[in-house]
Structure 1
Amino acid sequence: MQRYYSIIHNRETQADDVGELFDSAELAIQYGARVARDIANDPEHDSAAGTVVIVVDGGGAEIARHSVGRGGAER
């Protein structure tokens, strides 16, 4: 298992200090997509904020980028 981190960026950056353990990068990417969907479904979320969920590995390398509210993911 490797530790992966989610970074939420809109007008400011909120980094996950603890991270999550996943068996593969693909599972971490799926988790990041789920976080993005959860944020998009939050009634208090500002859809004009341009929020992005970035998934990084334990070494700090970006492995995925999920745009909140647009349903898409960039890798």
Structure 2
Amino acid sequence: MQRYYLPIIHNGQLQADDAGEMFGSAALASQYGARVAHEIGSDPEYDPGSGTVVIVVDSAGVEIARHAVGRAAW
């Protein structure tokens, strides 16, 4: 198990993820990131013009995936 972080860029501002989540693989972490992006986009109050992106980063700071809200496939 490795810790992955999911910071979010919303309206051009980075919202850090200081806690992270434990996953058995980068693929599982990426799938979770896609699900988070989908859930954000499903919120009726979400503004599609905000350019929100969920980023998946491993514990070494390496970017694993980016999921644009509104276009996330999971």
Could you list the structure 1 runs, at least 4 aligned residues long, displaced by more than 6 angstroms after superposition. none
Q: Which residue of 2 aligns with 1:70?
A: 71
Name which structure has the greater RCO, CA cutoff 8 Å, separation 6+.
2
Aligned partners of 2:56, 2:27: CA distance in 1, in Å?
11
Aligned Cα root-mean-square deviation (Å): 1.3
TM-score, normalised via structure 2 length: 0.92
Deviations along 1:6-36, one digit per CA (max 9) or x if unpaired, are 0110221111110000000000000000000
TM-score, normalised via structure 1 length: 0.91
- Percent identity of paired positions between Structure 1 and Structure 2: 63
Deviations along 1:50-73, one digit per CA (max 9) or x if unpaired, are 110000000111000001002359
